Structure 1
Amino acid sequence: MEAFSPKDSSILSSPYSSQNLSALLKIKVISWSQETGLPVTVRVRVANRSFNLHKSPLISKSGYFKRQLNEWQEVDLPSNFPGGSETFEMIALFIYGSSTFIDPFNVASLRCAAEFLEMTEALGGPGNLCERTDLYLTQVILQSWDDTLIVLQKCQALLPCAEELLIVSRCIESLAFMACMEILDPERKRKKGIVSLEALASQPWKSKLVKEILSDQDHLWIKDLVALPFGFFKRVIGSLRRQGMKEKYVSPIIVFYANKWVISKKTRQFWECLCDNDDDNNNSNTRDDDTSDKVLETLKGILDLLHVGSKVSKIIPVGFYFALLARSLELGGSSMTEGKERLQQQIVFLLPLAHVEDFLLPKQLTESFTSSMEVGVMESIFSSYVLSNIEMKQSPPMGNSIVAELWDSYLSLIAHDPNMTPKKFMNLVEIVPISYRNNHDHLYAAMNTYIQAHPHLSQEDKNTVCKYLNCQKLSQELCVEAVQNEFMPLRLIVQALFIQQLNTQHAFKECSESFRFAYSRELSGSLSSSRYQNSKSQNLGESDHEGEIMIMNKPLSCLLESDHVVMQKKSEILAAAKKEYESTSFRIQNLEQDPPKMINFGLEGRSHSSKRRNNSLGQVTSCIGSVNFSSQRKYAGRLLKIFRRVTLFGRAKLKRKPSVSGS
Structure 2
Amino acid sequence: MEVCCDLGVDVNGEETFVVDKKIIGLYSGKLSKLFGKSKGTARSIKVVFHDFPGGAKCFELMSKFCYNSGRIEITPSNISHLHCAAQFMEMKSSVSGTHNLFEQTEKSIEEMSYWSWSELLITLKQCQVLLPASDSCGILERCLDSLVARLALTSDVSPCPSTSSPDSSGFRISCDTKSTESLKTVFSRATWWFEDLLVLNLVLVEMLIKSLVSRKFDHHILSRFLFYYHKSRFITVSSNEKCKFVEVVINMLYILDPNCVSCKSLFEILRVSLNLKIDKSCRSKLESMIGLQLDQASLDNLLVPSPYGMNCLYDVNLVLRFLKAFLLGGSRKISPVQLSKVASLMDLYIAEVAPDPCLKPSKFLALAMAVPDFARDSYDEIYRAMDMYLECQGIESSLSQVHSGLSDEEKMKLCCALNLEKLSAETCIHLSQNKKFPSKSAGQALISQQLKLKGLLHGTNNTKSNSDLLCRAQEVGKKIEKDEAEEQVVLYAGRLDLSDDNEDLRANLQGMQWRVMELEKICRKMQVQMAKIMKSKVPSNHHTRNLPRLCS
Q: Shared fold (TM-score greater than 0.5)?
A: yes
Matching residue of 1:46: 10
C-alpha distance 116-367 of structure 1, shift in aligned 2 (>3 A):
closer
C-alpha distance 110-39 of structure 1, shift in aligned 2 (>3 A):
closer
Matching residue of 1:405: 344
- Please tell me the residue identity of whatever aligns with 1:317: S
C-alpha distance 448-115 of structure 1, shift in aligned 2 (>3 A):
same
The superposition leaves residues 148-191 of structure 1 with CA deviations (integer Å, 9 ceiling, x where unpaired) of 23322322343343223210110110111111122043746755
Cα shift at 1:113: 1.3
Aligned mates of 2:229, 2:271 — CA distance in 1:
17
Matching residue of 1:238: 210
Matching residue of 2:262: 317
C-alpha distance 481-323 of structure 1, shift in aligned 2 (>3 A):
farther
TM, length-normalised to structure 2: 0.62
Gapped regions of structure 2 (runs ≥ 5): 36-40, 158-173, 396-404, 487-515, 534-542, 548-552
C-alpha distance 421-195 of structure 1, shift in aligned 2 (>3 A):
farther
1:73 correspondence with 2:44? yes
Match of 1:363 among 306, 331, 344: 306
1:131 correspondence with 2:103? yes
Q: How does 1:14-93 map to 2 (within 5 A)?
A: 38=2, 40-47=4-11, 48-54=14-20, 57-68=23-34, 72-93=43-64
Cα shift at 1:131: 3.0
Matching residue of 1:431: 370
C-alpha distance 315-232 of structure 1, shift in aligned 2 (>3 A):
same
TM, length-normalised to structure 1: 0.53
Contact conserved, 1:251 with 1:315, CA < 8 A, in 2? yes
Residue 44 of structure 1 aligns to a residue whose secondary structure is strand
Residue 159 of structure 1 aligns to a residue whose secondary structure is coil
The superposition leaves residues 630-649 of structure 1 with CA deviations (integer Å, 9 ceiling, x where unpaired) of xxxxxxxxxxxxxxxxxxxx
Contact conserved, 2:191 with 2:221, CA < 8 A, in 1? no
Matching residue of 2:356: 417
Higher alpha-carbon deviation: 116-125 or 408-417? 116-125
Match of 2:392 among 441, 448, 453: 453
Q: Kindly, what percent of the aligned residue pairs are identical?
A: 23
Aligned mates of 1:477, 1:398 — CA distance in 2:
27
Q: How does 1:247-258 map to 2 (within 5 A)?
A: 247-257=219-229
Matching residue of 2:82: 110
Aligned mates of 2:422, 2:76 — CA distance in 1:
69
The superposition leaves residues 479-528 of structure 1 with CA deviations (integer Å, 9 ceiling, x where unpaired) of 99999999999998xx99x99xx99xx9xxx9xxxxxxxxxxxxxxxxxx
Matching residue of 2:238: 271
Contact conserved, 2:431 with 2:437, CA < 8 A, in 1? yes
Matching residue of 2:483: 600
- Please tell me the residue identity of whatever aligns with 2:50: S
C-alpha distance 220-384 of structure 1, shift in aligned 2 (>3 A):
closer
Contact conserved, 2:391 with 2:436, CA < 8 A, in 1? yes
Matching residue of 2:255: 306
Cα shift at 1:121: 5.6
Contact conserved, 2:29 with 2:93, CA < 8 A, in 1? no
Contact conserved, 2:258 with 2:289, CA < 8 A, in 1? no
Aligned mates of 1:52, 1:169 — CA distance in 2:
34
Q: Over the residues paired in the alignment, what is the CA RMSD in angstroms?
A: 5.4
- Please tell me the residue identity of whatever aligns with 1:359: L
Cα shift at 1:406: 1.9
Contact conserved, 2:156 with 2:189, CA < 8 A, in 1? no
Residue 367 of structure 1 aligns to a residue whose secondary structure is coil
Match of 1:153 among 125, 133, 136: 125
Cα shift at 1:132: 3.0
Residue 183 of structure 1 aligns to a residue whose secondary structure is coil
- Please tell me the residue identity of whatever aligns with 2:323: F
Cα shift at 1:108: 0.9
Cα shift at 1:606: 6.4
C-alpha distance 489-319 of structure 1, shift in aligned 2 (>3 A):
farther
C-alpha distance 363-195 of structure 1, shift in aligned 2 (>3 A):
farther
- Please tell me the residue identity of whatever aligns with 1:446: A
Cα shift at 1:476: 11
- Please tell me the residue identity of whatever aligns with 1:404: A
Residue 336 of structure 2 aligns to a residue whose secondary structure is coil
Matching residue of 2:401: none
The superposition leaves residues 350-378 of structure 1 with CA deviations (integer Å, 9 ceiling, x where unpaired) of 333333333363434763339x8x42243
Matching residue of 2:319: 378
Contact conserved, 2:155 with 2:190, CA < 8 A, in 1? no
Residue 85 of structure 2 aligns to a residue whose secondary structure is helix
Matching residue of 2:294: 351
Matching residue of 1:612: 526
- Please tell me the residue identity of whatever aligns with 2:316: V
Matching residue of 1:336: 280
- Please tell me the residue identity of whatever aligns with 2:345: L
The superposition leaves residues 198-218 of structure 1 with CA deviations (integer Å, 9 ceiling, x where unpaired) of xxxxxxxxxxxxxxx9xx696
